[in-house]
């Protein structure tokens, strides 16, 4: 574990990103598109390994990709992204002229339709010569859903750090600490061992554990009550995600019962998930156990989601998901039972879909009482 600590985030070798761009080019050719404008910050990083708050990546089949950014990032981009042509977009007024010039031959192209409205509109005028648009978000999501070996290694490390933060934090839990104090302690620990937290951590005590995305407040930790902790360490730009529910003292009969059911559902899904099944198939494994126990209506969310550069990405594991799981998917398995006004439980692991099954990467104790 100590080898993971105090390491600044760093991009993968250029060959990793060149391979990703080649994959995108194949998709563009299959769709018979002249080019693509990659505008969202996460997607730009995925294809370049260069983090910048401003920029556009232009991908044209048969040509060297072009990365447009401003003077703040240009010197670093030229050094860190040697496999693309970098150009200075100078002022916003000149961005449109350059963009129109570089995309002049395009007629059928792709752009992420998920971009904020203002950003989308700013690209409309210089790209008005394009007669047919395809949404680039689905092809990018499909490509990102299959993690490379390097991505798998990064997420393994993030998950290992997450496990350690949980173990250490659980040891430090004391009666009287508030949700806000525990949440802040988790945040400090994650920033200490990793790059930062992957999302806003959740600490929910007692009846608050029945709120899936509870916002921590001044509720104190009490004896015999549920303690739900949901947090994720980010390492080298990749996220992890872990939820554990525990109890200090003697849990109520209800809390012990629903924890045991959620744990059975979690373990069954981990044992049975395999490539080829749909997200709905995977969800049904855990949901069937919870429904049979009489708590089906108390499990209102899907079983899980993909994890990568973002903590929520494809594929989806839910009753309506038709996406098929593939080797290289990294997903969460997080069945939960929520009883408003009483208590709640969620047990979440992160797992890699393999060639013949599923490898759980989280190792933190899942027991309701473990200290």
CATH of the domain spanning 149-360, picked from 3.30.360.10, 3.90.230.10, 3.40.50.170, 3.50.50.60? 3.90.230.10
- Whether the per-residue pLDDT at 201 is higher than 50: the answer is yes
Which residue is listed with tokens 């072009």? 66
CA distance 241 to 74: 34
CB neighbourhood size of 236 (10 A): 20
Complete DSSP assignment for 11-42 = PPPHHHHHHHHHHHHHHHHHTT-SEEEE-SHH
Q: Which CATH superfamily is domain 14-144 in?
A: Creatinase/prolidase N-terminal domain (3.40.350.10)
Which residue is listed with tokens 């594991």? 317
- Could you tell me the pTM of the whole model? 0.93
Residue closest to 17 by CA, chosen among 284, 314, 309, 227: 309
Task: Name the β-bridge partners of 86.
Answer: 67
The residues near 6 (Cβ < 8 Å, ≥ 6 apart) are none
CA distance 360 to 230: 17
- Same CATH topology for 14-144 and 149-360: the answer is no
At 337-366, the pLDDT tens digits run 999 999 999 999 999 999 999 999 999 999
| Least confident window among 177-181, 187-191, 200-204 | 187-191
Number of helices (H) and strands (E) in the chain: give both, helices first: 10, 19
Check residue 92 and give its pLDDT.
62
Check residue 122 and give its pLDDT.
77
At 140-153, the pLDDT tens digits run 999 999 999 999 99
Q: Phi/psi of residue 298, each to 5°?
A: -90, 0
Alpha helices in 172-232 (DSSP H): 179-193
Three-state secondary-structure class, residue 362? coil
* More reliable by pLDDT, 283 or 123: 283
Three-state secondary-structure class, residue 197? strand
- Whether the per-residue pLDDT at 6 is higher than 70: the answer is no
| Extents of the domains making up the chain | 14-144, 149-360
Check residue 371 and give its pLDDT.
55
Radius of gyration of the chain (CA): 23
* Angular region, 101: left φ>0, alpha ψ -120 to 50, beta rest: alpha
What average pLDDT does this structure show over 284-304? Answer: 98
Check residue 194 and give its pLDDT.
84
- Looking at the chain, the whole-number percentage of residues with pLDDT higher than 70 is 96
What average pLDDT does this structure show over 66-85? Answer: 90
Confidence grade of residue 1 (pLDDT, cut at 50, 70, 90): very low
- Whether the per-residue pLDDT at 120 is higher than 90: the answer is no
């Amino acid at each position: 574990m100590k080898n993971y600590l105090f390491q600044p985030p760093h991009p993968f070798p250029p060959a990793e990103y060149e391979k990703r761009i080649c994959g995108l080019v194949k998709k563009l050719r299959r769709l018979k598109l002249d080019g693509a404008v990659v505008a969202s910050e996460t997607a730009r990083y995925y294809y370049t390994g260069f983090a910048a708050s401003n920029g556009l990546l232009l991908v044209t089949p048969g040509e060297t990709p072009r990365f447009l950014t401003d003077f703040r990032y240009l010197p670093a981009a030229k050094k860190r992204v040697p496999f693309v042509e970098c150009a200075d977009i100078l002022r916003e007024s000149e961005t449109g002229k350059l963009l129109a010039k570089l995309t002049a031959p395009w007629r059928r192209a792709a752009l992420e339709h998920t971009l904020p409205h203002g950003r989308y509109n700013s690209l409309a005028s210089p790209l008005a010569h394009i007669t047919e648009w395809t949404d680039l978000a689905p092809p990018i999501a499909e490509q990102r859903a299959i993690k490379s070996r390097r991505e798998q290694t990064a997420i393994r490390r993030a998950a290992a750090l997450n496990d350690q933060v949980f173990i250490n934090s659980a040891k430090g839990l004391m009666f009287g600490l508030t949700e806000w104090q525990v949440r802040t302690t988790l945040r400090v620990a994650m920033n200490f061992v990793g790059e930062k937290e992957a999302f806003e951590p959740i600490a929910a005590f007692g009846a608050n554990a029945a709120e899936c995305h509870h916002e921590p407040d001044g509720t104190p930790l009490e004896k015999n009550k549920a303690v739900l902790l949901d947090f994720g360490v980010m390492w080298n730009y990749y996220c992890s995600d872990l939820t554990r529910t525990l109890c200090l003292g003697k849990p109520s009969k209800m809390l012990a019962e629903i924890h045991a059911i959620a744990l059975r559902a979690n373990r069954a899904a981990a044992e049975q998930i395999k490539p080829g099944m749909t997200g709905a198939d995977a969800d049904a494994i855990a949901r069937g156990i919870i429904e049979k126990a009489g708590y089906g209506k108390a499990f209102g969310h899907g079983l899980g989601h993909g994890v990568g550069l973002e903590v929520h990405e494809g594929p989806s594991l839910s009753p309506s998901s038709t996406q098929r799981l593939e080797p290289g998917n990294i997903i969460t398995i997080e069945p939960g039972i929520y009883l408003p006004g009483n208590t709640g439980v969620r047990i979440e692991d992160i797992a890699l879909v393999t060639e013949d099954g599923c490898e759980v990467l989280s190792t933190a104790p899942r027991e309701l009482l473990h200290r």
